[in-house]
Structure 1
Amino acid sequence: MDNEKKSYFLRDALNIIGLMLFLVYPLMELWPSGWRWIPHQYKYEQMIVGVYATLGVFLIRAAKNPLENASLIWFTVFSSIVHATIMLLQAIFDPSEHGHLYGDIPVLYLIAIVLAYLMPRKSKV
């Protein structure tokens, strides 16, 4: 896919991912085993919901001009990989966290893959 097509789809991806991150709290309510800490830790959930809701708003804003917001997009890619990998290790070793293997872990990896793939690369001339 050429950079022009990637940029087009990147805008859509940023809006969709941004909205999803902004709405992470309802996901925790609708599917607690895949998105919520077990045992329930309300204070930590408030913190992570606040961080992800803020990131979601900024990703939606970044969709207007992705190239001007490349550092935010790459931060989202790498922070999603780090977050998902830490959670993956926790889920492997802690049976109470297994639900995350089917919830937020694959979603975080998917976010990273989609955004990394769609970020336009500098052309080699």
Structure 2
Amino acid sequence: MTVDQANRALRPAVALWAFAGLLGIPAAVYFDLLGGWRWPPYNAIYDQMMVSVYFALGICALRAVKDPLRHASFLWFVAISSFTHGAVMLFHAVHNPMHLSHLLGDVWILAGGAALAWPLWRFRQVDDRI
């Protein structure tokens, strides 16, 4: 597999993260239609902090769409931090009935982390930057 093929394979996952960070996660937090994005008790400052972190990730992901392998370290950070965030939320959702709604909200970030980690791991032999 060539670097160009690896970049083409990674672009959809990176574009999805750009969209999620810039629009999807901020909308999910502020509207919280499924009830799984806010951590009780409600704290607007906490929500603003979380949205700002994911918005920054979205900006960086948008920059990485053109050449994902060039931004492999950033993408590994997004994959690993998203996976661990989702795992922590899954743990709390399963162990505390008050947080079950997080199964519909931010636990899906586990899948987002895997969506980036799998192709990065798969294409690690393509380029030493991975």
Q: Alpha-carbon deviation of 1:67?
A: 1.1
Q: Alpha-carbon deviation of 1:38?
A: 2.3
Q: Alpha-carbon deviation of 1:39?
A: 2.3
Gaps of at least 5 residues in structure 1 are none
CA contact (8 A) 1:77 1:112 kept: yes
TM-score w.r.t. the length of structure 1 is 0.86
Q: Distance in 1 between matches of 2:43 and 2:9?
A: 37
Secondary structure, in 3 states, of the residue corresponding to 2:113? helix
Q: Name the residue aligned to 2:63.
A: 61
Corresponding residue to 1:105 among 104, 107, 130? 107
Secondary structure, in 3 states, of the residue corresponding to 1:35? coil
Q: Distance in 2 between matches of 1:26 and 1:40?
A: 16
Gaps of at least 5 residues in structure 2 are none
CA contact (8 A) 2:22 2:58 kept: yes
Query: In terms of mean alpha carbon deviation, does 5-14 or 36-45 score higher?
Result: 5-14
1:55-81 deviation digits (Å, cap 9, x = unpaired)? 011011111111110000000111011
Q: Distance in 2 between matches of 1:5 and 1:115?
A: 15
Q: Alpha-carbon deviation of 1:6?
A: 4.1
RMSD: 2.1
Aligned residues with identical type, % of pairs: 34
Q: Alpha-carbon deviation of 1:118?
A: 1.9
